[in-house]
Amino acid sequence: MNILELRNIGKQFPGSTDWAVKDFNLTIEKGEITALLGESGCGKTTVLRMIAGFETPTSGCIYLNGECVSDDKTFIEPQHRQVGIVFQDYALFPHKTVWENIIFGLFRLSAEEVKQKAVKIIRICGLEGLEKRYPHQLSGGQKQRVALARAMAPEPRIILFDEPFSNIDSKMKTQMREDIRQIIHKTQATAVFVTHDTKDVMAIADKVSVMKQGIALQIGKPEDIYKYPVNAYVADFFGKTNLMMARVSEKGFITPMGLIEVDNIEAEPNKMVTVSIRPEQLKVLPEGKGHMVGKIIKERFFGEYKELTCIVEDHDNKKTEIIIYASPGYQCKSNKCYFEPNNNSLNILND
């Protein structure tokens, strides 16, 4: 069943003629972790706040558990939505202890149930022993887990995260992502989070909506979007890629690197199209092998791989810069790099 459904959501802030969010659609099933990805100002946080009920959509409908919570006539206030939210600044109540923060949303239950639920969520979130502390006595990671525990304690229908990892240093991030993913799965919760970091998406999202200027460009599994981005913006946003123009031929695509053979060509012959090839889809070969060659102009060592920036020339001597990932131990004898693309590694973009 769909836990959440957004139908043609639009938001226009007073005094602005632009749409902060336009015709936005999203359906989320129970247990899914969904990411809203985009640069700052793309409208992703506005979508999140509309789900929570802190912003009123200018148009469109929002359904929670099949029940309409916002359309032209209805507007359910945030306190009646049963939507949990973990804020970017955590928004812990500074005058309440960890325990008091966590039980704040449990006021409808009996004292016995409150205790039971709070103890359980404290254990799940690994906060044992911190119950009596005040927010200012906690580390950043602990604060976030308290915020998470507080949001999850009343067992909301859906839990929202606003930039959950942006305030955490990069060393802690990996651990935090794993923790949050586990907690969400352990409690069989449904979650939506907003981020500008593709790594967050790859690490924990089941589904992602890539946004730009208030519009959803592509929705799907992170892996699919990585492999088959619809346009240059998505391709570029989702990690490094080589974008180039190519001519459609009978066997495949004629790119500045040379001919790349493709099994099913879904394009008219002789048409010029934009294609994207991920750097790791280009395989470095021993010297002299393969039919593609580039002149190395830059090498960068990244630990698990080496990034090569090469110049390739087509028949008209037109130069194009491409990026290839080589093994970390790659040593170049001349300044030439021989390579070939993996099968079916090329992706046609819409524009």
Which residues are near other proteins by CB under 8 A? 12, 14, 52-54, 56, 58, 72, 75, 77-85, 87-89, 91-95, 104-105, 107-108, 147, 150-151, 154, 156
Nearer to other proteins, 39 or 89 (CB): 89
In the complex, the smallest distance separating the C-beta of residue 70 from other proteins, rounded to whole angstroms, is: 8
Contact 24, 8 (CB under 8 A): yes
Nearer to other proteins, 87 or 338 (CB): 87
Packing angle of the helix pair 111-124, 140-152 (nearest 10 deg): 140
Number of alpha carbons in the 13 Å side-chain half-sphere of residue 122? 19
Residue 310 backbone dihedrals phi, psi, to 5 degrees: -125, 155
**Beta bridge partner(s), residue 192:** 34, 160
**Beta bridge partner(s), residue 259:** 254
In the complex, the smallest distance separating the C-beta of residue 141 from other proteins, rounded to whole angstroms, is: 18
| Mode of pairing for the β-strands spanning 306-313 and 258-261 | unpaired
What gap in Å lies between CA 185 and CA 327, rounded to an integer?
A: 35
In the complex, the smallest distance separating the C-beta of residue 53 from other proteins, rounded to whole angstroms, is: 8
Q: Which of 337, 305, 333 is nearest to 321 (CA)?
A: 337
Q: Which of 77, 219, 101 is nearest to 153 (CA)?
A: 101
Nearer to other proteins, 48 or 203 (CB): 48
DSSP state of 342: P
Nearer to other proteins, 107 or 302 (CB): 107
In the complex, the smallest distance separating the C-beta of residue 85 from other proteins, rounded to whole angstroms, is: 5
In the complex, the smallest distance separating the C-beta of residue 189 from other proteins, rounded to whole angstroms, is: 14
Nearer to other proteins, 91 or 311 (CB): 91
In the complex, the smallest distance separating the C-beta of residue 80 from other proteins, rounded to whole angstroms, is: 7
Nearer to other proteins, 16 or 264 (CB): 16
